[in-house]
Chains A and B, each alone.
Chain A
Amino acid sequence: MEPQLSWYLALSAVLFTIGVTGVIIKRNVIAMFMCIELMLNAVNLTFVAFASFFQDVTGQLFVFIVMTVAAAEAAVGLGIIIAIFRNRETLDVDEASILKL
């Protein structure tokens, strides 16, 4: 037998979940950022899986665009991280909590 569509979907769901969990429990900004990347990749897997089961190019193009977006986010995100590191000398997100209540 061959891997079913649902297998791939399940796998991507699991990866997505792991990414989500990571975002919540990681304290290092960069680590959180990487978990977000993980989530995006999980979504990509879904796209590709659908695309290939439908024999449709749309999904793959979506993946293509998502990658661009990820790159852009990476650039900006790391810029932000550097900027905040300059003022705080730490990457612990929990330190960045003067804006509250």
Chain B
Amino acid sequence: METNLLSLIIFAPLAGAVINWFVGRRVRDERFIGLVACGSVAISTIVAFYLAFNSHGALRGEAPLFDHIWTWLQVGTLRADFALAMDRLSGTYALFITFVGFLIHVFAVGYMHGEAGFYRFFAYLNLFMFAMLTLVLANNFVLMFVGWEGVGLCSYLLIGYYFDKKEAGDAAKKAFITNRIGDWGFILGVMLTFYVTGSVTFIANPAAGETAQTALSFFTNQAVDPFTLGAITAGGATSIALLLFIGAAGKSAQIPLYVWLPDAMAGPTPVSALIHAATMVTAGVYMIVRCSEIFVHAPTAMFIVAIVGAATAIFAATIGLAQNDIKKVLAYSTVSQLGYMFLACGVGAFVAAIFHVITHAFFKALLFLGSGSVIHGMHHEQDMRRMGGLKKYMPVTFATMLTGWLAISGIPIFAGFFSKDEILWKTWSAHGIGSANKVLWIVGAITALLTAIYMTRMMVMTFWGKERFDHSHVHPHESPKTMTIPLIVLAVLSTVGGFIGVPYALSSVFTDRDVNVIEHTLEPAIAHTEQAEAHSHDEIVAERALAVGSVVIALIGIGLGWTIFKKRPTLEMPRVLENKYYVDEIYDAALIRPIVAGSREGLWKIFDIGVIDGVLHAIGQAVTELGRLGRYLQAGFVRGYAAIILIGALILIGLFAYLGMRP
């Protein structure tokens, strides 16, 4: 069904950005700018909710909503429109993006108070909302790529917001280039998809006269690729899936492209909350789920996704253990949680992935904002070793972050518990990949343990213990309302948000109705792996057991963290962890330096100047030398000239005579 309100969702923030950029820079009035920014996002939020939940909304009705704005590219057989589609998946996504985004905007108004580049910041932030929503609502790969690159650009701009700080600039550059590597894979995936399916559209829009067969629906009746390595280069679904996964890995900070995310913390904290925790980094997950139709036909790709996800999860968690910068801890925790989501995708639990995305958006945004509040109160101090005992100074922040902590650690009734538990269970119960799923489950479980530990460490170092900062300079204080209110809202959400996805196994304890809302919402939009959703008895038992197990794990983690760090908050952590396994250094030494040096010395100096120009100059020299030789014919002596003429004459006569004598 065609509705032009959809475009309002994306264009409202764009308008906000434009207004802030051109008008805001003139009227340097924070209230105006803040109003424009938050207002525009608020509009899209309202519209999003309306379109989602009205009588035949995207999340209630069966038919997705379409908005065909204009035909963008139409060359040969390629047709890529500027067309939006809001089905259940993108609808869900749009909802929490707009909502969380709105909250973070509000928070930022307080946080960025008094900044010189206030207007710039909010222009970028609105622009980001535009790009993100475009990414989500796009109805074809190419437009999705527009948003995909757009969010990359915005994160580049926002990370580099303090452009006069070198590390900010470096981080921004690093983020953009790393994302570019991912985008390379993504765009290639798109091309291969087009090559194979002849279309780049997601959902056929009858109104725009599109054929029923789209890039996704093309696969529904294709055979599933074999579960072999050979499938990777076969140019089929597996190849597509892997190429797309490269893109996802870049955007969602998976091994080996995760390195940009921790550095991205150089940006202002709201940015970290919005872009690098809640929304942009989950775009990879969204894309995979959007293309689930392709992925389920590519078991090899799925397996690789799962492995990478699990590896990232545990890898980042270990690093997170040892960080002292409060934002770095959260950053690595984000990477780790993203790993979880990819693990979920990898084992075919797409719904669980989305579920975790949402809950994660809530509590991680909460944690980031809380840390922002802390940093704000500590006069931009980020090192936890110089904090401690803050709970009496900023009670609201403490209370809200407490919920976030419990949520991420996986304590029941908190949002994190359900989603994480779902993922672990789906991993455990996944089949088709031999016994590897058990290994994956163990990895996930250990990650959960580590998560609990380092989050506890963070909380302890920040809020408990004795105050390690000197009171002469630092006067901790609670943040203003604009900041605390979003915190509270998010705290509530991360407390109750989990109940949209209570699995049958747990809900059946109390009621017989299946209350797994999210699953029912997303079912139609997601491709199905073959295992059916049969709530057989022993499965339910197993799931419950696992749930209990994960609770135990969480509790153990918290306990460990408490016992270890309560007494010695500033405990020295292993150096290798503190230095993030020296990954950056390795990249630098193994890739960047060789390439740069090779290009400068080898390609430019030696080949370009040396060889190519050398050859040219050699030719020129040769001609000139020839000239030098030639001019020595001209010795200046008449007799010599006569002799030369005579020689020429003799040669001519000889030639002619020879030819003449020939019979």
Contact = CB atoms under 8 A, between A and B. Distances in A.
B639 interface: yes
Nearest to B650: A20
Contact of A100 (B635, B642, B643, B646): B635
Q: Which 9 A-B pairs have the closest CB atoms?
A: A100-B636, A97-B636, A101-B631, A93-B638, A24-B643, A23-B642, A24-B642, A101-B634, A24-B639
Contacts of B646: 20, 24
A93 B638 CA distance: 7
Given A20-B646, A24-B646, A94 B631 contact: no
Given A20-B646, A24-B646, A94 B639 contact: yes
A96 interface: yes
A99 interface: yes
Contact of A98 (B636, B638, B642, B643): B636
B637 interface: yes
Contacts of A93: 637-639
B639 A97 contact: no
Main secondary structure of the interface of B (DSSP, over half): helix
Interface of A: 20, 23-27, 32, 93-94, 96-101
Contacts of B638: 32, 93, 96
A101 B632 CA distance: 6
Contacts of A32: 638-639
19 contacts: A20-B642, A20-B646, A23-B639, A23-B642, A24-B639, A24-B643, A24-B646, A25-B639, A26-B639, A27-B639, A32-B638, A32-B639, A93-B639, A97-B635, A98-B636, A100-B634, A100-B635, A101-B632, A101-B636
Interface in B624-638: 631-632, 634-638
B641 to A, nearest CB: 10
B504 to A, nearest CB: 103
A87 B425 CA distance: 116
Contacts of A100: 634-636
Contacts of B632: 101
B631 to A, nearest CB: 5
B633 to A, nearest CB: 9
Nearest to B639: A24
A29 to B, nearest CB: 9
Contact of B637 (A20, A23, A26, A97): A97
Contacts of A97: 635-637
**Chain B interface: which size bin?**
10 to 19
B49 to A, nearest CB: 93
A99 B646 CA distance: 21
A89 B448 CA distance: 113
A93 B634 CA distance: 15
Nearest to A17: B646
Interface string B596-639: 00000000000000000000000000000000000110111111
Contacts of A25: 639
Nearest to A36: B642
A32 to B, nearest CB: 8
Given A93-B637, A93-B639, 13 more contacts: A20-B646, A24-B639, A24-B646, A26-B639, A32-B638, A32-B639, A97-B635, A97-B636, A98-B636, A100-B635, A101-B632, A101-B635, A101-B636
A88 B59 CA distance: 113
B642 A99 contact: no
A99 B642 CA distance: 16
Nearest to B638: A93
Interface string B571-585: 000000000000000
A98 B642 CA distance: 17
A101 B635 CA distance: 6
Given A24-B642, A24-B643, A99 B636 contact: yes
B499 to A, nearest CB: 101
Nearest to B646: A20
B261 to A, nearest CB: 73
Nearest to A23: B642
| Max count, chain A CB within 10 A of own CB: residue among B631, B638, B643 | B638
A98 B441 CA distance: 99
B489 to A, nearest CB: 94
Contacts of A94: 637, 639
A85 B635 CA distance: 21
Contacts of B643: 24
A96 B637 CA distance: 7
Interface string B260-277: 000000000000000000
Contacts of A20: 642, 646
A85 to B, nearest CB: 15
A94 B639 CA distance: 8
Nearest to B631: A101
Contacts of B639: 23-27, 32, 93-94
Contacts of B642: 20, 23-24
B656 to A, nearest CB: 15
Contacts of A27: 639
